[in-house]
Amino acid sequence: MESVYMTNNIDPVMEQREKEKARLLLLWLGICTSIILFGGFSSAIIVRQADTNWFKFDIPVQFTQSTILLVVSSITMILGSFFTRQGKRWPATAFIFITLILGSVFAWLQFEGWKALIRSDIFPSDPRTSNVSGSFFYVLTAVHLAHLAGGLLALLITSIRSAAGKYKPDSYLGIKLCSVYWHFLDGLWLYLFLFWNFSDKLL
């Protein structure tokens, strides 16, 4: 009878670790879902490239510029995580905020790239031509940009919480989750960029 009334003492450290594992697992499940989605897009592109109505075009320079920015943003995110682990709040906050700025410029360059495509008569959907390569490119970049919007929101929240001193060297789950997702977005874009430029070599 005595055991019925005993209070279960839960180790707060173990509880925190279990929560961290659960949230990381959910994040990785979401990432795996995105990988499957873009894998499907990639397969569809490879199949359609064999058709006669596939027109290969050079993507505007804005997409190359945005690629460089996104790679740099991964570096600044790494530095933000590093300074958080060192207990240096303001350098950590600064680098996370810089990552947010670089990500925002990346998004702006994507829109500028779309404008350049339209000036080159490459449209998301053009009834005047049966070419579908432009449509696929717009879909790929738009879906990635939608994922990036979530990353930018996460960076904004993380930078605010970092400035408020919410993260400690032994407790920075928010930054860890944000960092994993941001590096995924970077790696995904690098894959899409290289795939679009060299996928025709696979045929």
- Does 164 map to a domain? yes
- What is the domain range of residue 164? 60-202
- Does 129 map to a domain? yes
- Does 110 map to a domain? yes
- Does 130 map to a domain? yes
CATH of the domain at 64: 1.20.120.80
> How close are the terminal C-alpha atoms of the chain, in Å?
73
Per the structure, how many domains does the chain have?
A: 1
* Structure confidence at residue 128 (pLDDT): 57
- Does 4 map to a domain? no
- Does 44 map to a domain? no
Q: What is the pTM of this model?
A: 0.88
The 3-class secondary structure across the chain, one letter per residue, is: CHHHHCCCCCCHHHHHHHHHHHHHHHHHHHHHHHHHHHHHHHHHHHHHCCCCCCCCCCCCHHHHHHHHHHHHHHHHHHHHHHHHHCCCHHHHHHHHHHHHHHHHHHHHHHHHHHHHHHHCCCCCCCCCCCCCHHHHHHHHHHHHHHHHHHHHHHHHHHHHHHHCCCCECCECHHHHHHHHHHHHHHHHHHHHHHHHHHHHHHC
* Structure confidence at residue 126 (pLDDT): 62
Q: What is the pLDDT along the chain (203 residues), one digit of tens a residue?
A: 444 444 455 666 676 677 778 889 999 999 999 999 999 999 999 888 877 668 888 899 999 999 999 999 999 999 999 999 999 999 999 999 999 999 999 999 999 999 999 998 888 876 555 568 888 999 999 999 999 999 999 999 999 999 999 999 988 999 999 999 999 999 999 999 999 988 766 55
How long a stretch of residues is the chain? Answer: 203
- Does 193 map to a domain? yes
* Structure confidence at residue 10 (pLDDT): 60
- Does 40 map to a domain? no
Q: At what angle do helices 173-198 and 61-85 cross, to 10 degrees?
A: 160
Residue 78: which residues within 8 A CB-CB, separation 6 or more?
179
